[in-house]
Amino acid sequence: MSEITVVKEFIIENFLFGEEEQLLLDTDFFDEGIIDSTGVIELVSFLEERFNISVDDEELIPENLSSLQNINLFLQKKLNKKDA
Amino acid sequence: MKFTKDSINIEPAKEFEKISSKLKEDVIKKLKKRGAVVGISGGIDSSVVLAICARTFGSDRVLGVMMPENDSNPDSLNLAKKLSAKFNTKYVVENMTDALAGFGCYKRRDDAIKDVFPEYNNSYKAKITLPSNLLEKESLNVFQLTIIAPDGKTKSERLPLKEYLQIVAASNFKQRSRMSMLYYHAESRNYAVIGTGNKNEHEQGFFVKYGDGGADIKPIAHLFKTQVFQLADYLEVPEEIRKRTPTTDTYSAEQTQEEFFFRVPFGILDRIWFGWEQGIPSKKIAEVLELTEENVDSIIRDTQRKIRTTEYLRMEPL
């Protein structure tokens, strides 16, 4: 299963209670009210634990976490850095 | 409309008359109450509300309730007393520490702090804050826990979910206990409880549901903090209160409202928010306030996110 599919499943399960229709790759979690400030902490903890990465405070920006698309890019960057 | 730095300014005398006549109508005719109870903290918002109530109902129909607890700054009580003296209103002091200890407020909060910093004990001070660099970078609202050791050394850590929720839930006993106390004093006199939240707090969700958000009337919930200061000048609220930096007075370490929640100085936040509400383009707001368009947009987005994600706080039971 690809990383982004894992993240998508987590978001559907945790924030959308299984209703995945409203979640597209570029859906903005914050604009759509899918994830609030508590949700950001949950999401970051999930990414850190599931992918064994550490997210720095400076990386907690919408550009990295506001949509599946952005998370995918961010994750690839983090995972590549880890492998390097 | 022509947008300038002063566009946000109100005409304080007119604003006072408007608030006062509505307050009278609401308290006397709609709620059928005989006076007003206001929780006073020595902060600008509660001071303005007490002053409005004193001028609206007469000093003898207004009661100020001071509710310090273990973590309160002693200045708050002294300022609240000065305020009561200035407006000639009666006051009572209710120390909330025992009630809060009974709820386990301090213990539950401290247990969560110790999960993050095992060395934390009673001799330390603690606070939670948001990153304050919103003007430099658009970051998400993720809380940090900071502890200050007796020797002044500080340590900060991003809060994990469980500990964050426990610290906030435990701390909210403070506002909810205060609301119970305010209603005790109101009901025992047949008075109404007058809320003290301003527009920044009410719309961005900087209040505790059924805590400081629990009141019969919220007469300044439409005013930006900047406008509350203007009204404070007009009502001649004591200068020490007007000059004081707004704090939360909730955590043991000194904590401004800006670092806890709002992330930018009120003078900037309010003017951007006001401009955005009036439909002024970001470019124009940026030009007037000498900021970049990017700064303005990121503050608008942060405000929009806070309004959207705190909707639940303003909802009636469904």
Q: Which domain holds residue B20?
A: 12-102+165-310
* A chain contacts of residue B301, beta-carbon cutoff 8 Å: 62
Closest CA relative to residue B223, chosen from B1, B32, B28, B12: B12
Please report, for residues A4, A7, A9, A20, B240, the alpha-carbon distance to residue A1 in angstroms, rounded to integers and kept in the order given: 8, 10, 11, 17, 62
Higher pLDDT, B248 or B163: B163
User: Mean pLDDT highest for which of A10-24, B18-32, B119-133, B254-268?
Assistant: B18-32
User: For position B136, what pLDDT does the model report?
Assistant: 63
Average pLDDT, chain B: 93
In a domain, B123, yes or no: no
pLDDT tens for each residue of B158-217: 999 999 999 999 999 999 999 999 999 999 999 999 999 999 999 999 899 999 999 999
Number of structural domains found in chain B: 1
- Interface predicted TM-score (ipTM) of this complex, two decimals: 0.85
Hey, are the CB atoms on B142 and A62 less than 8 Å from each other? no
In a domain, B147, yes or no: no
In a domain, B262, yes or no: yes
Distance CA B61, CA B56 (A): 9
Hey, are the CB atoms on A57 and B164 less than 8 Å from each other? no
In a domain, B156, yes or no: no
In a domain, B301, yes or no: yes
Which residues have C-beta within 8 Å of that of residue B78, sequence separation ≥ 6?
B42
In a domain, B115, yes or no: no
* B chain contacts of residue A44, beta-carbon cutoff 8 Å: 142
pLDDT over 70 (residue B135): no
pLDDT over 80 (residue B132): no
Q: What is the mean pLDDT of residues B238-253?
A: 83
> Which residue segments constitute the domains of chain A, with CATH numbers given?
3-83 (1.10.1200.10)
User: For position B249, what pLDDT does the model report?
Assistant: 73
Chain A neighbours among B 244-303 (CB < 8 Å)?
Answer: 301
The 8-class DSSP code of residue B224 comes to: -
Read off the CATH number of the domain in which B243 is found: 3.40.50.620
In a domain, B239, yes or no: yes
The position carrying tokens 């704090």 is: B247
Q: What is the mean pLDDT of residues B297-304?
A: 90
Q: What is the mean pLDDT of residues B275-295?
A: 96
Which residues have C-beta within 8 Å of that of residue B89, sequence separation ≥ 6?
B50, B53, B54, B59, B62, B63, B64
User: For position B259, what pLDDT does the model report?
Assistant: 64
Q: In the structure encoding, which two tokens stand for residue B125, read together?
A: 């001070």
Closest CA relative to residue B171, chosen from B213, B108, B255: B108
The 8-class DSSP code of residue B43 comes to: S
Residues of chain A with pLDDT under 50: none
* A chain contacts of residue B307, beta-carbon cutoff 8 Å: none
